Each structure stands twice: as C-alpha cells, then as structure tokens.
Amino acid sequence: MLNASEAQAIATLADRLAVRDVVHRYTRGIDRHDVDILTSVFFEDGIDNHGRVVCYRGDFIDWGNKLHEGMCVAHGHYITTQLIRLDGDEAESESYVLFILKRKDLSTVHIGGARYLDRLERRGGLWRIELRRVVMEWRLDVAQDVPASTLDALAAGTWDRSDPSYKVLGQRDG
C-alpha cells in the first residue's frame, strides 16, 4: 500500500508524462500533417503564437500545414530538453526543438533551433495546450549534398495516414 507521499509522487510523474506526451504528439502531428493529432494537442480555444501569426487551434492547424506544404518536401521537429512546472490542473513547459525542413528546390535545407513555451491545462482529465509561444533561437540554410539515389532503398515518409508509422503505431493518436 502506498503512503500519501508516494501516491502524490506517482500522480506528479503521471502528469509530467502526460504534458510531455502532448508536446511530442504535436511534433508527430505537424510532421505528418495529421489534423486529428494536432486537434488533440490544443484546446479549441487554444492559441499558437508563431510571431507574425497568432491564431486559435483550427486556424493554426490550417496555417501550419499549408506553410509546410508550400515550402517543403519533408520536415522534422525534434524535442530535446524539456522543463515542466506543474500546479494542480495547470502546467508550464519549456521545450527545446530542433527543426529540419527540406525545401521544394530539393537542394536547400533549413536547420534551426527554437523553444516552445507552453501553458497547458487539464480539463476533463485531459492535458492540452492553452497557449503556445514559439521563441526562435537560430536558423541556417545549408545545401543538401547527399544524392537522392542513396536514400531510395529506405521507406519514404508521407504527410498522411499512409506513412509507415501508422502501420507500426496504428491509426489512433497516443
């Protein structure tokens, strides 16, 4: 039987993992252009602040997917260091992100580092983002120098549910 302190420690750990999962689901959703996953990350009244673009969940999902579709043939967002502060049904998170975007010209790759500053809430037992602010740290453009033919033997990622990850993880989010 757990004592009160142990039970609280387990509850805190579960909340931290739930907050972490929200941030990681975001990167999967944005990289797969998966509207359902992205919808599950933000509350309906959740706001994303990408600097010049500040909008509610639905408009952000449309904008984010169109932005990536318009400039990229492939991209990935990778969460590294993450700090989480919990306070009951509210949380703040700072997540460092590396992003790599291969441009449609097939020769330019954007590489950059940023931070997601998130305010999250637990509503109805679910943690989601209420407010996200993206802080840009650095970015550089590099020429791709790996011939495409060296990558042909690998499975190619797609921006829909035909992506190989859905065969491994299934069609459900989480």
pLDDT digits (tens, 9 = 90+) for 73-94: 999 999 999 999 999 999 999 9
Provide CATH code, domain 4-165: 3.10.450.50
| Euclidean distance between CA atoms 147 and 163, whole angstroms | 23
Q: pTM of the prediction? A: 0.88
107-134 pLDDT, tens digit per residue, is 899 999 999 999 999 999 999 999 999 9
pLDDT confidence of 106, banded at 50, 70, 90?
Answer: confident
Domain boundaries, the chain: 4-165
Q: Is the pLDDT of residue 152 over 80?
A: no
Q: Is the pLDDT of residue 173 over 70?
A: no
Q: What share of the chain is helix, strand, coil (3-state, %, to 5)?
A: 35, 45, 20
Q: How far is CA 92 from CA 21, 95, 132, 138, 142, in A?
A: 14, 10, 10, 23, 34
